[in-house]
């Protein structure tokens, strides 16, 4: 498997020269040098230009683009050009168009207008990739492959007849017999038993809730259908250019694609992340997504393959990144393990749907704040080549995430449809981030023994095998925190019988007798124990959820106070084997979650990267092969922040500076200390 081993943190962006006359290209290369660009991603939307009519190829212009870049020493992450089929393809083959659950046909005119299961689309895509790989296999500019683009961004699932056929094929492979499918899908309910696979359909719009297991499997199938598109191209590249690393750009908090499953096929994991400058907590979402990327790649450096130099254009209201924000958020990616900082896109489009998306070279040209900040970051990254290849120091804490559980958690017909997988993960990641406690985000089958603390936030779908591994993890001395509505169903969305959460009852030392979801806007009071029971929570509010917990070995750390559940345990602690298992039965407000997690991780012996930091300062450590440790400090707050260092250290971003025992970061300030 070819490795991604850059000599420095890459810097650059998507390059779409086909939008501009050839005379602009020379300026492009000149400005790239000025901006410190080392890598561009080219060709993402070039299919219609490269194959203007079926089987008619035009690569001459692209040869010149590649030549220019090679001459300038800019590496190319070459796209396979298959993200947006040209109009002629859907015109000749309208059967490639996707269809929604409501039966609405999605037409060409934007992008990603293909059914992922379409053999016609796949065949044309592969034919193009064959040509492309053969032509540029030995080109000096070729550095990496970028397959497809943002899989599942718009067309998350397709419900057309072609997809239906492919879904049936997938089900046959999964279940073998229709009896097994009937069993897995609980079709005895509502008279849904199939007499043959040919009767099965995607969960199209129905009079009321479609079968949940059918919906769950359709999520799985849809991720796999996109993956099959990806692999069809990837196989060609692996054959034709075996030494060139391959990636595709994942999206953050992105439900359609099981990124743990996909990451196994990537030589390097990549992410697109678009902060919302109108959201003061946008860096928190980034922090979680970055940790997930790094963990998906098992700790190896990853690529920030797209971000905006400033504003985007696709939210209802698109604020620009204020001065310093783009630099701060770029360094956040590096601090959390990225070895590439790229943008969408190099030059701002004059027309089309993204002309108001910021670019490295804005409409207003180089005499703009945006270009100045881009070029400054380019220079800055060039000054610290030693960062490349270093890895984030292995965290002692892990959050367990599972796309299967995500899909199942957010199905309809639940005790409460207000539960959001992403909200639940952010709520548990945030107190770690704020405390500067590094953490991984791992799939349920990842080895856990290396972690001191494992957190399981509302992992609704949990196999007995995983539950057994979590139980053993605690028995052997691990610390575990589980929050409500975890361990409820098996892989087929069938309830684990015997009292919720049946497979975790032993390790948690309790049973949940009844779910007690709260009405919109309703809250409960949670009060901590007194005397011996005195724990991390004095009094806190919960909302969204409560439940009737019955202790079976665990002790109550806090209880509901008032209401129908007055006196019922809300937070519990269970010493089990060598370890400890905690449980939380409501959605605690943020401060209480922070206090609880501080207590839990202190018990687990998990500390921050650097203690005593002011609020809003993020700290991470990357370690180089030679043992050098780089301490990153980032000030996400609005006030200057002064931090005491463990020893006098030098800020690599201040060339010529001396080692100091303290560092003061202005708002949006960054230091890389060693």
Interaction of residue 113 with its own copies, rule CB under 8 A: yes
Contact region with its own copies (CB under 8 A), list: 415-423, 443-451, 458-466, 553-561: 415-423
Mark whether 533 is an active-site residue.
Answer: no
Closest among 622, 259, 270 to 438, alpha carbons compared: 622
Contact region with its own copies (CB under 8 A), list: 42-50, 129-137, 257-265, 649-657: 42-50
Whether the Cβ atoms of residue 256 and residue 227 lie closer than 8 Å to each other? no
What residues form DSSP beta bridges with 541? Answer: 525
Q: Where are the alpha helices (DSSP H) in 523-644?
A: 590-604
Nearest distance from C-beta of residue 320 to its own copies, angstroms:
5
The 8-class DSSP code of residue 96 comes to G
Interaction of residue 57 with its own copies, rule CB under 8 A: no
Q: Which is nearer to its own copies, 43 or 337 (CB)?
A: 43
Tokens coding 633: 């400090």
Interaction of residue 417 with its own copies, rule CB under 8 A: yes
Interaction of residue 55 with its own copies, rule CB under 8 A: no
Restricting to residues 255-294, which ones interact with its own copies according to CB under 8 A? 278
Nearest distance from C-beta of residue 521 to its own copies, angstroms:
10
Mark whether 447 is an active-site residue.
Answer: no
ω into 454 cis (within 30 of 0): no
Pick one of 111, 469, 475, 541: the residue that binds its own copies (CB under 8 A).
111
Pick one of 38, 68, 118, 155: the residue that binds its own copies (CB under 8 A).
155
Q: Which residues contact 191 (CB under 8 A, 6 or more apart)?
A: none
Interaction of residue 146 with its own copies, rule CB under 8 A: no
Tokens coding 75: 């590496």
Nearest distance from C-beta of residue 141 to its own copies, angstroms:
21
Q: Can you tell me whether residue 413 is helix, strand or coil?
A: coil
Nearest distance from C-beta of residue 640 to its own copies, angstroms:
17
Whether the Cβ atoms of residue 371 and residue 360 lie closer than 8 Å to each other? yes
Q: Which is nearer to its own copies, 99 or 641 (CB)?
A: 99
Restricting to residues 535-574, which ones interact with its own copies according to CB under 8 A? 548, 564
The 8-class DSSP code of residue 651 comes to B
Whether the Cβ atoms of residue 160 and residue 226 lie closer than 8 Å to each other? no
Interaction of residue 468 with its own copies, rule CB under 8 A: no
Contact region with its own copies (CB under 8 A), list: 69-77, 409-417, 453-461, 600-608: 409-417
Length of the chain: 674
Tokens coding 282: 């946008």
Restricting to residues 170-229, which ones interact with its own copies according to CB under 8 A? 185-196, 198-201, 203-214
Interaction of residue 350 with its own copies, rule CB under 8 A: yes
Restricting to residues 471-510, which ones interact with its own copies according to CB under 8 A? 492-495, 497-500
Pick one of 370, 507, 524, 673: the residue that binds its own copies (CB under 8 A).
370
Tokens coding 486: 């975890």
Catalytic residue from among 51, 75, 150, 233: 150
HSE, CB side, 13 Å, CA atoms: give it for residue 136.
Answer: 31
Q: Which is nearer to its own copies, 155 or 471 (CB)?
A: 155
Pick one of 138, 173, 520, 615: the residue that binds its own copies (CB under 8 A).
520
Nearest distance from C-beta of residue 127 to its own copies, angstroms:
15
Site string for its own copies, 581-620 (x = CB under 8 A): ----------------------------------------
How far, in Å, CA of 366 to CA of 344, rounded? 17
Nearest distance from C-beta of residue 214 to its own copies, angstroms:
6
The 8-class DSSP code of residue 445 comes to T
Nearest distance from C-beta of residue 497 to its own copies, angstroms:
6
Pick one of 11, 47, 329, 407: the residue that binds its own copies (CB under 8 A).
47
Q: Which is nearer to its own copies, 221 or 630 (CB)?
A: 221
Closest among 225, 126, 230, 207 to 167, alpha carbons compared: 225
Closest among 209, 234, 46, 201 to 130, alpha carbons compared: 234
Whether the Cβ atoms of residue 490 and residue 518 lie closer than 8 Å to each other? no
How far, in Å, CA of 549 to CA of 514, rounded? 8
Nearest distance from C-beta of residue 562 to its own copies, angstroms:
13
Q: Which is nearer to its own copies, 394 or 498 (CB)?
A: 498
Tokens coding 38: 């080392």
Q: Which is nearer to its own copies, 52 or 477 (CB)?
A: 52
Catalytic residue from among 75, 306, 373, 434: 306
Pick one of 74, 76, 77, 81: the residue that binds its own copies (CB under 8 A).
81
Measured from the Cβ of residue 209, the count of other Cβ atoms closer than 10 Å reads 13
Q: Which is nearer to its own copies, 105 or 134 (CB)?
A: 105
Site string for its own copies, 306-345 (x = CB under 8 A): ----xx-xx-xxxxx-xx----------------------
ω into 501 cis (within 30 of 0): yes
Q: Which residues contact 379 (CB under 8 A, 6 or more apart)?
A: 36
| Torsion sign over Cα 465, 468, 472, 474 | positive
Instruction: Tell me the number of residues near its own copies by CB under 8 A.
Output: 117
Interaction of residue 394 with its own copies, rule CB under 8 A: no
Nearest distance from C-beta of residue 601 to its own copies, angstroms:
32
Interaction of residue 515 with its own copies, rule CB under 8 A: yes
- Phi-psi region at 447: left, alpha or beta (left = phi > 0; alpha = psi -120 to 50): beta
Pick one of 6, 86, 297, 487: the residue that binds its own copies (CB under 8 A).
86
Tokens 């494992």 locate to 454
Neighbour order of strands in the sheet with 302-306: 246-247, 142-146, 75-79, 39-42, 10-15, 338-343, 302-306, 270-272, 249-250
Whether the Cβ atoms of residue 347 and residue 359 lie closer than 8 Å to each other? yes
Q: Which residues are catalytic?
A: 150, 306
């Amino acid at each position: 498997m070819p490795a991604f081993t850059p000599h420095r943190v890459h810097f650059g962006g998507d390059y779409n020269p086909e939008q501009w006359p050839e005379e602009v290209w020379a300026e492009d290369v000149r400005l790239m040098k000025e901006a410190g660009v080392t890598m561009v991603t080219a060709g993402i939307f070039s299919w219609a230009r490269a194959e203007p009519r079926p089987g008619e190829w035009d690569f001459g212009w692209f040869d010149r683009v590649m030549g220019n870049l090679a001459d300038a020493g800019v590496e190319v992450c070459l796209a396979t050009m298959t993200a947006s089929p040209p109009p002629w393809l859907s015109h000749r083959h309208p059967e490639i168009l996707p269809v929604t659950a409501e039966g609405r046909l999605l037409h060409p005119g934007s992008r990603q207008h293909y059914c992922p299961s379409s053999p016609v689309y796949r065949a044309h895509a592969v034919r193009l990739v064959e040509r492309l790989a053969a032509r540029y296999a030995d080109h000096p500019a070729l550095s990496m492959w970028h397959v497809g683009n943002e899989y599942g961004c718009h067309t998350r699932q397709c419900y057309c007849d072609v997809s239906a056929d492919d879904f049936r094929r997938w089900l046959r492979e999964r279940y073998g017999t229709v009896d097994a499918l009937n069993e897995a899908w609980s079709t005895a309910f509502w008279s849904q038993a199939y007499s043959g696979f040919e009767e099965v359909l995607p969960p199209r719009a129905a009079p009321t809730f479609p079968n949940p297991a059918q919906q769950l499997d359709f999520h799985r199938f849809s991720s796999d259908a996109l993956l099959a598109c990806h692999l069809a191209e990837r196989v060609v590249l692996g054959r034709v250019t075996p030494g060139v690393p391959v990636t595709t750009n994942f999206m953050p908090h992105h439900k359609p694609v099981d990124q743990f499953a996909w990451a196994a096929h990537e030589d390097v994991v990549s992410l697109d992340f678009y902060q919302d400058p109108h959201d003061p907590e946008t860096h928190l979402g980034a922090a979680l997504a970055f940790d997930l990327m790094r963990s998906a790649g098992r700790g190896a450096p990853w690529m920030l393959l797209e971000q905006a130099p400033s504003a985007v254009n696709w939210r209802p209201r698109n604020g620009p990144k204020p001065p310093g924000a783009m630099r701060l958020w770029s360094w956040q990616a590096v601090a959390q393990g990225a070895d590439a900082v790229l943008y969408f896109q190099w030059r701002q489009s004059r027309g089309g749907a993204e002309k108001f998306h910021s670019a490295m070279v804005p409409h207003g040209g180089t005499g703009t704040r945006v270009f100045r900040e881009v070029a400054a970051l380019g220079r800055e990254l060039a000054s610290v080549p030693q960062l490349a290849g270093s890895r984030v120091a292995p965290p002692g804490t892990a959050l367990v995430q599972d796309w299967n559980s995500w899909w199942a958690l957010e199905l309809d017909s639940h005790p409460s449809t207000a539960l959001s997988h992403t909200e639940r993960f952010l709520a548990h990641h945030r107190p770690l981030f704020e405390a500067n406690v590094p953490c991984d985000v791992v799939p349920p089958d990842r080895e856990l023994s290396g972690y001191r603390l494992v957190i399981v936030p509302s992992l609704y779908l949990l196999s007995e095998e995983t539950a057994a591994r979590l139980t053993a993890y605690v028995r052997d001395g691990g610390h575990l925190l589980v929050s409500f509505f975890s361990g409820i169903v098996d892989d087929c969305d069938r309830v684990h019988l015997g009292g919720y959460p049946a497979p975790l009852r032993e390790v948690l030392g309790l049973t949940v007798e009844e779910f007690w979801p709260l009405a919109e806007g309703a809250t409960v009071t949670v009060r901590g124990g007194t005397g011996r029971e005195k724990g991390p929570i004095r009094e806190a509010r919960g909302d969204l959820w409560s439940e009737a917990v019955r202790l079976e070995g665990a002790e109550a750390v806090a209880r509901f106070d008032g209401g129908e559940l007055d006196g019922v345990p809300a937070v519990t602690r269970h010493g089990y084997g060598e370890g400890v298992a905690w449980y939380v039965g409501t959605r605690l407000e943020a401060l209480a979650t922070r206090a609880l997690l501080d207590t839990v991780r202190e018990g687990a012996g998990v500390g921050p990267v650097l203690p005593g930091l002011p609020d809003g300062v993020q700290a991470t450590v990357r370690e180089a092969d030679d043992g050098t440790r780089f301490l990153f400090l980032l000030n996400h707050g609005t006030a200057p922040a002064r931090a005491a260092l463990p020893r006098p250290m030098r800020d690599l971003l201040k060339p010529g500076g001396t080692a100091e025992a303290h560092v003061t970061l202005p708002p949006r300030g960054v230091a890389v200390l060693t």
